[in-house]
A and B are shown apart, each in its own frame.
Chain A
Amino acid sequence: MKHTLSVLVENKPGVLARIAGLFSRRGFNIDSLAVGVTEDPNVSRMTITLDQQEHPIEQVTKQLHKLINVIKITDLDPERTVSRELALMKVSTDPKSRGEVMQIAEIFRANILDVGKKSLTVEITGTTAKIEAFEQLLRPHGLLEIVRTGRIAIERGEK
């Protein structure tokens, strides 16, 4: 099962290197990692997804906690979390296939960012599953390039 860790860290130089180093030397594989500032400029949030089967999540969080710059770790419960990922995809198109790609994009509420002679660039936001489904549909047309941000997630508000 995929786990999403939301890690608050001090916004200081070298913190990302410390976390990346910890994962590599303890043999934990990161599926994705997204970093950005938070509402507090002294604090950054890292959203890390990893596979629970490969690594006991408890050992990962305990080791992370030992880093002085790590303030708080939340193992996000998928039931109580909304998550999004953003991807940019450059698809090979010719005048004949362009329409079909645009239709697929419309169904997925993806935006066309750039139209070239032989390609279309689309932007899609959504859950990892949605982005993967979109990718599957575009693949037969020839995917020239994909860029993904990695998952970011936030706990739902009190109902």
Chain B
Amino acid sequence: MKGSEVIIESLKAAGVDVVFGLPGGMVIPLYDAIYDSDLKHFLVRHEQGAAHMADGYARATGKTGVCIATSGPGATNLVTGIANAYMDSTPMVAITGQARTDLIGTDAFQEADITGITEPIVKHSYLIKSAKDIPRVFKEAFYIASTGRPGPVLIDIPSDIQLADIEYKPAGRIDLPGYKPTVKGHKKQIKSAARAVAAAERPVLYAGGGIIAAGAEKELLALAKLMKIPVTTTLMGLGCFPEDNDLSLGMLGMHGTGYANYAVTHSDLLIGVGARFDDRVTGKLATFAKNARKIHIDMDPAEISKNVPIDIPIVGDARDVLAGILAELKTMKRDPKKTAPWLDQVIAWKKKHPLHYKDLKGSIMPQYVIEEINRITRSDAIICTDVGQHQMWSALFYTHTKPRHFISSGGLGTMGFGFPASIGAKVGRPRQTVIDVAGDGSFQMNIQELATAVCYDIPVIVCILNNGFLGMVRQWQELFWNKRYSETVISCQPDFAGVADAYGALGITITDKKDVGEAIRTAIKARKPAVLDFHVKQEENVFPMVPAGQSIDEMIGGHKT
């Protein structure tokens, strides 16, 4: 069997049926094997698209996403996508071609040291130097990518390895002496966490993407309900706790809700689960939940006490640990009414500092577009985003109720992520309505994937909140840089609906508020890729906002006027 055929067998053994990629010289043997295989391959128009599609596919399904690129420029085009998956802990396997083994190190045509280039942004990587290693490397790669704290794994395969003739032997047992993720939480720590929860008067659960990765949303809800604890989520955690529940505080942090930030600041116990106390969440570290004892449950021991000192650290799988805490609490004397005054306070904050915006006559407000998407899809669509204002409005004005329904570039903040990610999500969850909320700036960063969506008839709906600016940077320039809009004005725009039409997608331009809902409904009914270009109010800001480095209870625009 050829090395390339062994790759296909190894992918099948890992349960892969979908891959995203683009061929090139050093992966011709692999693509020749794909030609005869049952793998569903989606040909992209730029390798970055393939990486983001694999990422979106993985986030929507929980499976490991796979992307393929050739050596050199193909591989380097994956880099942003790999970094994005690394920062947001997405399980992904990236396969790259490489120059022949005898040419490595000679600056051969399309040679790039991709294992070296990606070393800081992968969970692990391999350069295969012998074809007989292929089954083992693939088995290990999928195991590493999908277990523990998930992340991307890169496999670099020289072309002669793909051509080598070997006997296919399925991989044996995995032997990784240096990789043994801790799943079960420490019993004693779980007990002390349960005691702390039972004793708390002003507890807050602070839940992140780790809840979704672990599938721990049921346990989270059960704990919140049992002990009447309000829950705030990070951007990555949106959907892990239903926002239509009274205990939900929505998102916290720089653009979090006022009530979430006040609750965290005044809490006496903060229970962080699968979240990493990121600077966009904590603001000024010295004042972050400064009177609270802190419990931190995380798969990755390196995250515990990295930014904020933790009183009760628990390394383990969020579902396992939360189930352990619940079981402990059920054996203990507890008084769920203990938090009643605290919940009254939270309700008072919610009343005093609701999310709000001024609905200006004659303008389409970007927040209104999100509210309409929410209403029409009954909060049931998968929402993908890039990074910036449209991302924050999608986080704040959509009611997130289900895990794996909000797919956004959190850690890396990648413009151009949302659209290819939405294609990947739709491939993985074809029955789900998938909407990519984009900015007019970010959509143009991977606009070429319209061809992919049209070619494979992947009916995702792109909703551009078109304000003619690189909006979030403009907002910072307005608030902190004396309105000097240096290079954030992007008035020179294509006609997005016309572009969509040229690609064979549905394109609609919306300039009147009354047409917003109709356009969304038309796109959903059309069952083909669609681009809705909403001309929204130009200089609108995302509020509330905590200026960088300030305490999170010092918000701009937190009060309704």
A25 at the interface (CB under 8 A from B): yes
A67 at the interface (CB under 8 A from B): yes
B144 at the interface (CB under 8 A from A): yes
Residues of B within 8 Å of A62, CB to CB, are: 301-302
Size of the chain A interface, CB-CB below 8 angstroms: 19
B105 at the interface (CB under 8 A from A): no
Residues of B within 8 Å of A18, CB to CB, are: 119
Which residue of chain B is the closest to A70 with respect to CB atoms?
Answer: B178
B179 at the interface (CB under 8 A from A): yes
Residues of A within 8 Å of B120, CB to CB, are: 21, 25
A69 at the interface (CB under 8 A from B): yes
Q: How many A-B Cβ pairs are below 8 Å?
A: 33
A104 to chain B minimum Cβ distance, whole angstroms, is 45
Is B306 a contact partner of A59 (Cβ separation < 8 A)? yes
Per-position binary interface string of chain A over residues 133-158, scored 1 when its CB falls under 8 Å from any chain B CB and 0 otherwise? 00000000000000000000000000
Is A71 a contact partner of B177 (Cβ separation < 8 A)? yes
Which residue of chain B is the closest to A60 with respect to CB atoms?
Answer: B302
Is A66 a contact partner of B144 (Cβ separation < 8 A)? no
Is A71 a contact partner of B178 (Cβ separation < 8 A)? yes
Which residue of chain B is the closest to A63 with respect to CB atoms?
Answer: B302
A65 at the interface (CB under 8 A from B): yes
Which residue of chain A is the closest to B303 with respect to CB atoms?
Answer: A62
Taking a contact as CB atoms closer than 8 A, the residue among A17, A68, A69 that contacts B116 in the complex is A17
> Which range holds the interface residue count of chain B?
10 to 19
Residues of B within 8 Å of A9, CB to CB, are: 178
Is A67 a contact partner of B178 (Cβ separation < 8 A)? yes
B300 at the interface (CB under 8 A from A): yes
B115 at the interface (CB under 8 A from A): yes
B117 to chain A minimum Cβ distance, whole angstroms, is 11
Taking a contact as CB atoms closer than 8 A, the residue among A14, A21, A65, A68 that contacts B176 in the complex is A68
Is B116 a contact partner of A59 (Cβ separation < 8 A)? no
B110 at the interface (CB under 8 A from A): no
Is B300 a contact partner of A66 (Cβ separation < 8 A)? yes
Q: Taking A10-B178, A14-B127 as contacts, is the C-beta distance between A65 and B302 under 8 angstroms?
A: yes
Residues of B within 8 Å of A69, CB to CB, are: 178
A9 to B127: give the CA distance in the assembly, Å.
Answer: 18
A79 at the interface (CB under 8 A from B): no
A58 at the interface (CB under 8 A from B): yes
Which residue of chain A is the closest to B176 with respect to CB atoms?
Answer: A68
A14 to B116: give the CA distance in the assembly, Å.
Answer: 9
A18 to B178: give the CA distance in the assembly, Å.
Answer: 14
Residues of B within 8 Å of A17, CB to CB, are: 116, 119
Q: Taking A18-B119, A21-B120 as contacts, is the C-beta distance between A59 and B178 under 8 angstroms?
A: no
B509 at the interface (CB under 8 A from A): no
A44 to chain B minimum Cβ distance, whole angstroms, is 12
A67 to B70: give the CA distance in the assembly, Å.
Answer: 26
Per-position binary interface string of chain A over residues 22-34, scored 1 when its CB falls under 8 Å from any chain B CB and 0 otherwise? 0001000000000
A71 to B305: give the CA distance in the assembly, Å.
Answer: 23
A25 to B96: give the CA distance in the assembly, Å.
Answer: 24
Residues of B within 8 Å of A13, CB to CB, are: 127
Which residue of chain B is the closest to A42 with respect to CB atoms?
Answer: B177
B195 at the interface (CB under 8 A from A): no
A59 to B302: give the CA distance in the assembly, Å.
Answer: 6
A13 to B144: give the CA distance in the assembly, Å.
Answer: 19
Is A68 a contact partner of B119 (Cβ separation < 8 A)? no
Is B179 a contact partner of A68 (Cβ separation < 8 A)? yes
- Identify which of A10, A25, A65, A68 gathers the most chain B CB atoms within 10 Å of its CB: A68
A21 to B305: give the CA distance in the assembly, Å.
Answer: 22
Which residue of chain B is the closest to A58 with respect to CB atoms?
Answer: B305
Which residue of chain B is the closest to A43 with respect to CB atoms?
Answer: B177
B124 at the interface (CB under 8 A from A): yes
Is A68 a contact partner of B302 (Cβ separation < 8 A)? no
Which residue of chain B is the closest to A64 with respect to CB atoms?
Answer: B302
Residues of A within 8 Å of B300, CB to CB, are: 66
A17 to B179: give the CA distance in the assembly, Å.
Answer: 18
B contact residues vs A (CB 8 Å cutoff): 115-116, 119-120, 123-124, 127, 144, 176-179, 300-302, 305-306
Give 6 closest A-B pairs by Cβ, nearest first.
A62-B302, A71-B178, A68-B124, A71-B177, A68-B179, A70-B178
A contact residues vs B (CB 8 Å cutoff): 9-10, 13-14, 17-18, 21, 25, 58-59, 62-63, 65-71
